[in-house]
Amino acid sequence: MGEQGRRLVDFCIPCNPYFPTPEMFAELADNLEHVLRFYPSDSATIAGELARLLGLNPATLAMANGSTELITWMDHLWFRESVAIPVPTFGRWTDQPMETGKRVDMFPLRELDRFALDLDEYVAFIRARRSRVAVLVNPNNPDGGYLPRRDVLRFMDELVDLDLVVVDESFIDFVDAERDPSVATDAAIRSNVVVLKSLGKNFGLHGVRFGYLVANPGLAARMRRTLPKWNLNSLAETVVFMLRDHGLEYRESLRLLARDRYAMGTQLARLPDFTVFPSQGNFLLVKLAPGVDGTELRDHLINRHQVFIRECGNKLGMSNQFLRFVVRPQADVARLVEGVQAFGRQQWPDELARRRHADRPA
Ligand SMILES: Cc1ncc(COP(=O)(O)O)c(C=O)c1O
């Protein structure tokens, strides 16, 4: 891992650097013995607390050990033959149904459109393929592309005849384009819509494993009956109960993160080999200039600068020319920029750099 004694900066795992606060971690540490020794409460008690926190009816919730567990169970319960999904996206949305023999209809998002999803084209694609389930990840991972709430509602309205429409809102708390971007309450009054949330993503606690879905009481109850008893651990329960007292800090963390996203996006866009795509998530997707190798840049950054980034070569619909950077505070971004510039100097020795510069339009 390169130089000794230098802290690794993680631009790979999409954590929220401002939440939980150090005080909250101290509170958790103080309670750890009690938390780990005893069984958690039953799901109904935890769901009741979560519902109070979110202002939702507990009958519309089903909670699981990370939202990946819910993707798995949705596939077993409700994906019968085919599922449509725009790509690139989170790998489990394509891999899970393929592993169980379903047809996955992948709708390609185009770099030319800056990975923006055209909903009318997506609906036409779903009709042409006769897909029975449609998934929409909003904002999408890895590009952070976002669709306004009114468009997602229109999408849900157009697909009332499908077996299921899933809106994955794992990153929606990071949106600042509109005040109330979630369609969770709308899902609860529709016959075929499920909204998926990941507390790990929102609260920066991936290890706790906590996700939930919101759907009409019939669908939510079906999922609750399927999930194993005591699938939530005491640490997840403790976090849910702590959130009641830390709403202010959470909202402040989101404000800081949106500020950092803007600053970091501006800085990365100034780097000559980087094209940055617009994002409403807590990460930024970047395309490298032709001839710059993403795998080499990733290895250079980790080996020489202790900066860890996500190279997207293993994502369907991407190549190793694409990199994803988690939004981080300015001091960390300075280290990233320094590392990228050092890589550029090494890649483009003086003569080449001069020629490259001369080739550029004024
Ligand atoms: C869009 C999306 N949905 C769901 C998940 C799964 O999250 P969890 O950690 O809650 O299982 C991820 C993880 O990266 C994701 O990117």
Say how many domains are in the chain.
2
* 1 within a domain of the structure (yes/no): no
pLDDT over threshold 50, residue 201: yes
Q: Are 13 and 27 part of one and the same domain? A: no
Q: What is the pLDDT of residues 43-66, one digit of tens each?
A: 899 999 999 999 999 999 999 999
Q: Are 265 and 240 part of one and the same domain? A: no
Q: Are 285 and 208 part of one and the same domain? A: no
Q: Are 254 and 132 part of one and the same domain? A: no
**What is the C-alpha separation between 191 and 169, in angstroms, rounded?**
19
Q: Are 235 and 331 part of one and the same domain? A: no
Q: Which DSSP state fits 333?
A: H
Q: Are 302 and 316 part of one and the same domain? A: yes
**What is the C-alpha separation between 160 and 154, in angstroms, rounded?**
10
Q: Which of 141, 167, 326 to mutate to test the pocket of ligand 1 (most atoms within 8 A of CB)?
A: 141
CA separation, residue 270 to residues 11, 319, 348 (Å) = 18, 22, 17
**Which of 191, 211, 245 is the C-terminal boundary of a domain?**
245
Mean pLDDT across the chain: 93
Q: What is the mean pLDDT of residues 104-131?
A: 97
Binned at pLDDT 50, 70 and 90, residue 230 comes out as confident
Q: Are 93 and 241 part of one and the same domain? A: yes
pLDDT over threshold 60, residue 324: yes
**What pLDDT was estimated at residue 362?**
42
For residue 167, what are its two tokens?
């809106």
**Which of 184, 219, 245 is the C-terminal boundary of a domain?**
245
Closest Cα to residue 287, out of 261, 267, 308, 313? Answer: 313
* 4 within a domain of the structure (yes/no): no
**What is the C-alpha separation between 264 and 284, in angstroms, rounded?**
9
Domain that holds residue 163: 22-245
Phi, psi of 211 (to 5 degrees): -140, 160
Q: Are 315 and 237 part of one and the same domain? A: no
For residue 151, what are its two tokens?
């468009």
**What is the C-alpha separation between 197 and 9, in angstroms, rounded?**
26
196 C-alpha to ligand 1 centroid (Å): 9
Binding site membership of 66 for ligand 1 (Cβ less than 6 Å): yes
**Which of 245, 268, 291 is the C-terminal boundary of a domain?**
245
Binding site membership of 253 for ligand 1 (Cβ less than 6 Å): no
Give the CATH number of the domain where residue 298 resides. 3.90.1150.10
Binding site membership of 200 for ligand 1 (Cβ less than 6 Å): yes
Q: Are 223 and 282 part of one and the same domain? A: no
* 131 within a domain of the structure (yes/no): yes
Q: Which DSSP state fits 162?
A: S
Question: What percent of the chain clears pLDDT 90, i.e. is strictly above it?
Answer: 87
Q: Are 139 and 225 part of one and the same domain? A: yes
272 C-alpha to ligand 1 centroid (Å): 32
Higher pLDDT, 5 or 263: 263
Q: How many CB atoms lie within 10 A of CB 345?
A: 10
**What pLDDT was estimated at residue 200?**
83
For residue 174, what are its two tokens?
């990071």
**What pLDDT was estimated at residue 315?**
94
The pTM (predicted TM-score) of the whole model is: 0.94
Q: What is the pLDDT of residues 278-287, one digit of tens each?
A: 999 999 999 9
pLDDT over threshold 60, residue 358: no
What is the chain's Cα-based Rg?
A: 22
